[in-house]
Amino acid sequence: MKLRQNPRLGETLYEETLENGLTVKLYPKSGYHKTYAILTTDYGAIDTTFVPAGQTDYVTVPDGIAHFLEHKLFEKADYDAFEKFGQFGASSNAFTSFTRTSYLFSTTSHLKENLDILLDFVQEPYFTTATVDKEKGIIGQEIQMYNDEPDWRLFYTVIGNLYPQHPVRTDIAGTIESIAQITPEELYQAHQTFYQPSNMNLFIVGQIDDPEEVLSWVSANQDAKDFVAPSDINRSLPEEEADGSDIIPYRSLEMPVTRSKSMVGIKGLTDFGTGQEALEMKIKMNLLLELLFGDSSTQVQKLYEQGILDDSFGYEYAIQRSFNFITLGGDTDDAQGLSDALINILEHYQESPDFSEANLALVKRAAIGEYLQAFNSLEAIANQYSDAFFDEVSPFDVLGLIEQVTLADLAQVAAEFFKIEIMTVCHILPEVAQ
């Protein structure tokens, strides 16, 4: 096993790639009672057009299929995986993002048995027309519930404006209409293509008495199964304008809310991949946004004092395979006033009193502290470091990456992103009584 040691934290990350291509990472945490394991495939909601394993032509499948597959994998001919974990008192869960699907459990006993359950239920699909049809009702309810959530609608309207074609614009769960079309055959096809061991990684963190022994359990499980030889995965995405000229600049919705909501979105036009370049971009962007819009921003404080924004204000930079975008906004009485003010700060970042060497030093110091504090949480360790960014980069390198960022780096990022032609605005307004 490859070892990455961190003397400062007194902790070690063990890594191994098995013969079948599965990457395994182990992170023992001394003093912890719990062990958390997460098995992730590099496959998510946006992967709807691809060449199925063993075929040569592209197919396009219904929106929401990755999430549907995630739900359905738990149910087998003779057991339910959720219940099987439950027999040992373990709890399990799963989630689907735009580009990844993860299955996890946490336990305080029977680690070996739980690892077998995890690997087996994810790697041994079972779908029938009857079980697939029943799931449509459950997921339909989920989609409906999110449709009632104003913040959810705000977010999807913004990314819908930024991406007129890219499937990131669609709800991860799909739509009631799209999931109605899903068949067992399509689920098998997606599973064969994207759940190859070489497209997956297993991250185990927490109480691990003997890393070698835990790895041998995983190897034994994998050696007992037959896998077809790994094949390349070809995905396809619709073309969008390289200069962002197809972005929809504005949309507003009326919903039953007491206060308006306002959000600005910015589309990144460069593809940074998923490796170190993307990770560095993410670190820089988060520092830049924290400088301009974080808790220590004097400009945000001013808007707070003027009553234009409140504690609900927040920002996020999403960077994943094939897309990256910024969203910022929150609740307000003056939806137009808030989006105007945010765009003004973005466009004039150089004149911002917050954009200074002194503030960057503080923001970096906070980022270092938060990075260290996150090693308290097994979930934070596993969820962050099983990400594609860390296929090559070590989690322990992040500190150095934060330390090396300069104000000139941030100016370069700002110059690339803070341009009106790649921005969009969405307002959610209270319904006017008829």
Partner 1 sequence: MNQKVMDGVYLNILQTQQFKTIRFSVQLVAPATKETLTKRSLLASVLSASSQAYRDQVAIANQLQAMYGAGFNMNAYRQGQLAIFSISMRIVSPQYLRDTIDLQQQAIAFIGELLLKPDVIDQAFNAVTFDREKENLQRYIDSVADDKQTYAALKLRELYFTDQTQQTPNYGDADVLKTITATDLYTYYQQMIANDRIQMTVVGNVDEEKLALDLAQLSLAPRGEMLPGIFYQQAASNAVRELTEEQAVQQGKLNMAYQLPAYFYQKDYYAALVMNALFGGTPLSLLFTNVREKASLAYYASSNIDAFRGAVMVQTGIESHQKERVLAIIEAQRQSIIAGDFTQAMFEQTKLALINQFKSSLDSPGYLGQQQFNQIFVPETELDAGRFTTAILAVSKQAVQEQAAKMQLQAIYFLKGVDTNEA
Footprint on this chain of partner 1 (rule: CB under 8 A): 8-9, 30-34, 82-83, 86-91, 106-109, 134, 137-138, 141-142, 144-145, 147-148, 150, 206, 256-259, 294-298, 301, 304-305, 307, 310-311, 331, 362-363, 365-370, 372-373, 375-376, 378
- Report strand pairing: 101-107 vs 35-41: antiparallel
Give, in degrees to the nearest 5, the angle at Cα 64 between 238 and 256: 100
Question: What is d(CA 223, CA 238) in angstroms, rounded to the nearest whole number?
Answer: 39
Question: What is d(CA 209, CA 28) in angstroms, rounded to the nearest whole number?
Answer: 7
Question: What is d(CA 127, CA 388) in angstroms, rounded to the nearest whole number?
Answer: 29
- Report strand pairing: 260-267 vs 423-430: antiparallel
Q: For 51, phi and psi rounded to 5 degrees? A: -95, 115
For the question of residue 254 being annotated catalytic, the response is no
- Determine the longest span between alpha carbons in the chain, in angstroms: 68
Cβ neighbours around 143 below 10 Å, total: 18
Are the CB atoms for 67 and 125 separated by under 8 Å? no
To 10 degrees, what angle do helices 184-194 and 129-147 make? Answer: 80
Supply 217's token pair.
Answer: 């359990």
**CA distance readout (Å), 71 to 61, 103, 119, 146, 329:** 17, 10, 16, 17, 32
**Smallest separation, CB 280 to partner 1 (Å):** 20
Question: What is d(CA 413, CA 53) in angstroms, rounded to the nearest whole number?
Answer: 39
- Sheet containing 101-107, strands listed edge to edge, beginning at the edge strand earlier in sequence: 2-6, 11-17, 23-28, 200-206, 35-41, 101-107, 91-96
Across 404-415, b (16+ Cβ under 10 Å) vs e yields ebebebbeebbe
**Smallest separation, CB 375 to partner 1 (Å):** 5
Give the residue from 390, 428, 94 showing the smallest Cα distance to 255: 428
Question: What is d(CA 223, CA 242) in angstroms, rounded to the nearest whole number?
Answer: 46
Catalytic annotation, pick one of 70, 240, 280, 290: 70
Are the CB atoms for 102 and 386 separated by under 8 Å? yes
**Smallest separation, CB 92 to partner 1 (Å):** 8
Q: Which residues are identified as catalytic?
A: 70
